[in-house]
Amino acid sequence: MPERILKKVLTVPVYDVAEETPFELAPLLSARMQNKVWFKREDLQPVFSFKLRGAYAKMVTLTEAQRQAGVIAASAGNHAQGVALAASKMGIKATIVMPKTTPPIKVNAVRRLGGEVVLYGEAFDEASVYAQQLMREHKYSFIHPYDDDDVIAGQGTIALEILRQHPKPLDIVFVCVGGGGLIAGIGAVLKQVWPKTRIIGVEPEEAACLTEALKAGERIKLAQVGLFADGAAVAQVGEKPFEIAQTCVDEMVTVSTDEICAAIKDVFEDTRAIAEPAGALAVAGLKKFVAERGVAGLEMAAIISGANMNFDRLHHIAERTEIGEKREAIFAVKIKEQPGSFKQFCEDLGASRAITEFNYRYADAREAIVFVGVKTEGGRAEQIRLLDDLREKGYQVEDMSDNEMAKLHLRHMVGGRAEDIQDEKVYRFEFPERPGALLNFLSRMSEEWNISLFHYRNHSDAYGRVLVGVQVPSNQQADFEAYLDCLKYPYISEQDNPAYHLFLSTN
């Protein structure tokens, strides 16, 4: 299989539409990592992602009759733009089916590139099924985003450029993984020319489909996929990419949302460009690998795969960056409810430590619980020392730095305890984000159970996130969760989350 891909890579004329992107040294990150780090800048393509390569590589193989009939694709973003631009260059009609939840910036970009957009379904899977239906009805050719030899070969041209731009073999190449087309193309080429170069795939922790497939020895379909890195939010790796990955991928790394946000900042500091979350995945994986393995003096590359992101998301990303870098810790701390206790706590933290956040509301005459953020330039080691130091001084401290409920919701709503709430159950939900989405979510909640807590923030993502408290008697718990399953919104019970018990629960 890799040999077949390499032959295609050597002949595909992607430069009719794509550009050879720079292979740049990242001096700041190199110095911090104590390794030489290179960025392959696929964010500089005409559509700001690598997807143009694979789309065009597939479309040039179409017969004249197929070109006359037109092409169709299902995509929520980068693949859609790649197909639209390639079709425009070739004079082919392109129909792109996109979920109704797709941000307007991406829909408008496809239209500007000449694609006919059809909005259908709440999520990619529904859009993909409808695209297949339209393909059969109109005899269109379907351009798959990753599970196709020609598409994989198009992405593999990135590896040919790296070979020209860095003649000496690299030690490691980090590649983001969604459906697997990119890592399959790069791995198929590099492993045949630089067999000792390690190919490491990077996935979000909440969408690790290739990681799980390689562990199991077969493709696994994830029951639920996190959507922060939407360009890599795929439930099942492609069949052909998985076949190649089994022989060409040496290792997988998974990264958290905070680590991705920190990597976006790293890319910006070295390039002054802003990568999308999936575009910075490889950098996040490189950093985590170096931190865990302690390697130094190596030559490494990370593929910056895309830069298509709503500007409004930057606030949320910046908010999470310092935590991802371990330069900020978030704690819940119990202190005495008496004059001078705040001042004493700040003194115990140490005058040299900057407090980034301090949230409090009176709730009890004996003790107060504060939600505090603290700068920790020494990383995780300093955070642990600070925790130990506060506990030695008699404080009860709960580390919230890795608590998703606390970071998404609690920090914006600290200080609300209701005295007479009984049988409260708390859940975190995700629902498709579009005008009227919050009202639709509320409308689908049954009036049989009373809503006792609600927090919602719009981060300009494709999905909205809410924290909901509902009064549900214990003998109705099974019925309530059966009802939630019928809503078809992903949810997580937060009933045992310490953040809830410390700040919101009456018990």
Q: Which positions are annotated as active-site residues? A: 51, 305
Please provide residue 48's backbone torsions phi and psi, each rounded to the nearest 5 degrees.
65, 25
**CA–CA dist 279, 263 (Å, integer):** 9
Six-digit token string for 345: 């706590």
**CA–CA dist 123, 102 (Å, integer):** 9
Amino acid residing at 193: V
Q: Which residue has the tokens 């500089």?
A: 44
**CA–CA dist 86, 379 (Å, integer):** 45
Contact 153, 83 (CB under 8 A): no
Contact 362, 337 (CB under 8 A): yes
Contact 462, 278 (CB under 8 A): no
**CA–CA dist 350, 18 (Å, integer):** 54
**DSSP secondary structure letter of residue 49:** B
**CA–CA dist 346, 25 (Å, integer):** 42
Six-digit token string for 54: 């694979």
Six-digit token string for 373: 């953020």
**CA–CA dist 207, 325 (Å, integer):** 21
Start-to-end Cα distance in the chain: 60
CA dihedral 36, 41, 43, 44 (to 10 degrees): 140
Six-digit token string for 191: 């492993």
**CA–CA dist 385, 168 (Å, integer):** 43
**CA–CA dist 281, 261 (Å, integer):** 9
**CA–CA dist 187, 242 (Å, integer):** 11
At 198, which helix (H) or strand (E)?
Answer: strand 198-204
**CA–CA dist 31, 36 (Å, integer):** 8
Considering all CA atoms of the chain, what is the largest pairwise distance in Å, rounded to the nearest integer? 82
Contact 258, 233 (CB under 8 A): no
**CA–CA dist 274, 268 (Å, integer):** 5
Of the candidates 359, 326, 177, 332, which has an alpha carbon nearest to the alpha carbon of residue 258?
326
